[in-house]
Amino acid sequence: MPCCHERTRGLIGQEKPQYKEVMSWKKFFFAFIAAFVVLFVFGFLWYATLMHDAHREVPTLLRPEADLKSYFKWLVLGQFVMAFFFTVLCARYVPGGRAGAGAMLGFLVGLVYAGPHLISFAVQPLTFKILCGWIAGAVIQFTIAGAVVGAIYKPAAGHLMYVKERSR
């Protein structure tokens, strides 16, 4: 009995075309580092600087500033994880690269963050100002990161190769 993939062969023994994506690890690495820098710097400027006073309106929301230094490595790890998997998403789902397509994916990822922020608003003592700041920050942050990753991670045209072309 033929396997399911063998049924796709043509009548004259032609096989369906196979393609192979060649990932540029060097570009991926640079895009990842750039995403990390963008997410980290933007996060510091937006959340730690611009939203500092809003966060302090709810004293039980964040750790005391004296304790933050001992948890800094966890903050860096979180930024690292976000940057890595965001770069994976861009490399996988924006195969043609380009800043605009990366920015659109980043915009959508930022909107995904609105869900957990709304849930946090429902179960934590957040102010509406903090909620709006977190949502706006996530959308802006990931849109910028997406544009940067899309601009850096542009596979060359030859990176999508067809092994055998199907006749029509």
The C-alpha angle with vertex 144 and arms to 135 and 149, in degrees rounded to 5, equals: 130
* Nearest-10 crossing angle of helices 99-112, 72-93: 130
Domain boundaries, the chain: 17-162
According to DSSP, residue 19 is labeled E
In tens digits, the chain (168 residues) has pLDDT values of 555 555 545 555 555 555 455 668 889 999 999 999 999 999 999 999 999 999 989 988 888 888 888 999 999 999 999 999 999 999 888 877 789 999 999 999 999 999 999 999 999 999 999 999 999 999 999 999 999 999 998 765 555 444 455 555
Q: How far is CA 3 from CA 6, 14, 86, 151, in A?
A: 5, 16, 37, 42
Q: What is the pTM of this model?
A: 0.78
